[in-house]
Chain A
Amino acid sequence: MKHLRSSTLAAAVALTLSGLFAPAQADTLVVGTTQVPRHFNGAIQSGIATFMASAQIFASPLRYDANWTPQPYLAKSWEVADDGLSVTLHLVEGATFHDGVPITSEDVKFSIMTIKANHPFQTMLAPVEDVETPDPLTAVIKLSKPHPALLLAMSPALMPIIPEHIYGEGDIQQNPANLAPVGSGPFKFVEYKQGEYYKLAKNEHFFLDGLPKMDEVIVQIIGDSANLVLATERGDIDMVPFLSGVRDVQRLEKAENVEVSDAGYDAVGALNWIAFNTKKAPFDNPAVRQAIGYATNKDFILQRLLGGVAKDSTGPITGTSPLATEDVEKYAFDLDKAKALLDEAGLTPDADGIRLRATIDYIPGMAEIGRNVVEYMRTQLKQVGIELEVRTAPDFPTWAQRISNYDFDMTEDSVYNWGDPVIGVDRTYISSNIRKGVIWSNTQQYSNAKVDELLAAAAIETDQTKRAALYKEFQQIVVADAPILYINEVPFYTAYKKGLTHLPDTIWGAVSPWDEVEWSK
Chain B
Amino acid sequence: MPRLVKKLASAIGLLLAVVVLNFLLIQLAPGDPVSVIVGEMGGASEDLIAQMRAEYGLDKPVWLQLLIYIGKICTGDFGFSYYFKQPVLDLILQRLPATILLVITALITAVILGTLMGIFSARKPKGVLSHFVTIFSLVGYAAPVFWTGLMLLIVFASIFPIFPVSGMMNVRGNATWYGAVFDVLHHLVLPAVTLASIYVATYSRLSRASMLDVLGSDYIRTARAKGLSERRVVFGHALRNGLIPVVTMIGLQFGQLFAGAVLVETVFNWPGLGRLAYESILRRDYPTLLGILFFSAILVMVANILTDLAYGKIDPRIGGRRRKKARPAGARP
Contact = CB atoms under 8 A, between A and B. Distances in A.
Q: Do A and B bind each other?
A: yes
Interface of A: 7-8, 10-11, 14, 17-18, 20-24, 28, 30, 36, 38-39, 45-47, 49, 118, 120-122, 173-174, 178-179, 193-197, 199, 218, 220, 222-224, 227-228, 230-231, 233-234, 236, 395-398, 400-402, 404, 416, 418, 424, 427, 435, 437-441
Contacts of B266: 223-224
Contacts of B49: 437-438
Interface in B126-177: 153, 157-158, 160-167, 170-176
Given A222-B269, A223-B275, A230-B157, 8 more contacts: A21-B182, A24-B175, A38-B84, A121-B43, A196-B167, A236-B164, A396-B39, A400-B38
Nearest to A36: B279
Contacts of A416: 42
B83 to A, nearest CB: 6
B330 interface: no
A427 B39 contact: no
B271 A230 contact: no
Nearest to A397: B31
A196 B162 contact: no
A194 B90 CA distance: 10
B32 interface: yes
A220 B269 CA distance: 11
B116 to A, nearest CB: 21
Contacts of B29: 397-398
Contacts of B249: none
A7 B162 contact: yes
A210 to B, nearest CB: 25
15 contacts: A14-B186, A18-B170, A21-B180, A22-B179, A39-B85, A120-B44, A121-B43, A179-B85, A194-B86, A195-B84, A224-B267, A233-B158, A397-B32, A400-B38, A439-B43
Closest 8 pairs (CB-CB, A-B): A397-B31, A21-B179, A440-B43, A120-B44, A120-B41, A23-B175, A398-B30, A46-B41
Interface string B63-94: 00000000000000000000111100001001
A223 B86 CA distance: 20
Given A14-B186, A227-B269, A195 B162 contact: no
Contacts of A227: 153, 165-166, 267-269
A288 B96 CA distance: 55
A120 B161 contact: no
A223 B85 contact: no
B307 to A, nearest CB: 32
A218 B173 CA distance: 10
A400 B186 contact: no
Nearest to A393: B30
B43 A21 contact: no
B158 A21 contact: no
Contact of A10 (B162, B183, B276): B162
Contact of B183 (A21, A195, A220, A438): A21
Given A120-B44, A418-B42, A441-B43, A22 B172 contact: yes
Contacts of B40: 38, 47, 49
Nearest to A123: B45
B180 to A, nearest CB: 8
Contacts of B179: 20-22
A398 B30 CA distance: 5
Given A400-B31, A416-B42, A22 B85 contact: no
Contacts of A196: 167, 271
Contacts of B55: 173
B275 A439 contact: no
A409 to B, nearest CB: 18
A396 B282 contact: yes
A230 B42 contact: no
Taking each of B161, B180, B266, which has the highest tally of chain A beta carbons within 10 Å of its own beta carbon?
A: B161
Nearest to B49: A438
B162 A22 contact: no
B303 interface: no
Contacts of B158: 230, 233-234
Contacts of B218: none
A21 B180 CA distance: 8
A465 B32 CA distance: 44
Nearest to A224: B269
A444 to B, nearest CB: 14
B105 interface: no
A218 B170 CA distance: 11
Nearest to A26: B172
A236 B165 contact: yes
A194 B91 CA distance: 8
A401 B31 contact: yes
Nearest to A14: B162
Contacts of B178: 21
Interface in B240-291: 266-269, 271, 275-276, 279, 281-282, 284
Given A193-B94, A396-B39, A234 B172 contact: no
A179 B86 CA distance: 9
B269 A396 contact: no
Contact of B282 (A22, A45, A234, A395): A395
Interface string B27-68: 001111001111111111110110000010000000000000
Nearest to A218: B171
Taking each of A197, A227, A435, which has the highest tally of chain B beta carbons within 10 Å of its own beta carbon?
A: A227
A13 to B, nearest CB: 9
B165 A231 contact: yes
B147 to A, nearest CB: 13
Contacts of B161: 11, 234
A521 B255 CA distance: 53
Contacts of B180: 21
Contacts of B268: 227
B94 A194 contact: yes
Contacts of A397: 29-32, 35-36, 39, 284
A397 B43 CA distance: 13
B87 to A, nearest CB: 11
Contacts of B282: 395-396
Contacts of A233: 158
A329 B45 CA distance: 32
A256 B86 CA distance: 41
Contacts of A439: 35, 38-39, 43
B42 A195 contact: no
Contacts of B84: 38-39, 194-195
A234 B153 CA distance: 12
A234 B165 contact: yes
Contacts of A424: 42
A224 B153 CA distance: 13
Taking each of A30, A197, A233, A396, which has the highest tally of chain B beta carbons within 10 Å of its own beta carbon?
A: A396
Nearest to B183: A21
Given A14-B186, A196-B271, A38 B43 contact: no
A23 B172 CA distance: 8
A415 to B, nearest CB: 8
Nearest to B161: A234
Nearest to B154: A230
A30 B276 contact: no
A195 B280 CA distance: 11
B29 to A, nearest CB: 7
B153 A230 contact: yes
